[in-house]
Amino acid sequence: MPVAPDGSLCNIHNRIGGSADNVTGTFTFNLSSEALNGAWTLRVNDNALGDAGRVDSWSITF
């Protein structure tokens, strides 16, 4: 989930899709209430049993 400079969170994906291996796509959010300047980070947590997750790439565009 992207973490805004003020610490606000935008949940992208929450265990939807069962045993699917990949989460890919373009996700759109209304960030009009966010201060866009500053350091944005990505918080990732893979909670699937017997699975190893990784992030191949990500980007954010305003």
CA dihedral sign, ordered 18, 23, 25, 30 = positive
Helix or strand holding residue 5 (H, E) = none
pLDDT: which is higher, 39 or 44:
39
- Averaged pLDDT of the chain: 80
17: pLDDT strictly greater than 60: no
32: pLDDT strictly greater than 80: yes
The residue type at 1: M
Strand partners, 41: 3
List all residues 6 or more positions away from 45 whose beta carbon is below 8 Å from its beta carbon: none
Rounded CA separation 48/9 (Å): 21
6-33: average pLDDT: 77
Polymer length in residues for the chain: 62
Say what percent of the chain tops pLDDT 90: 3
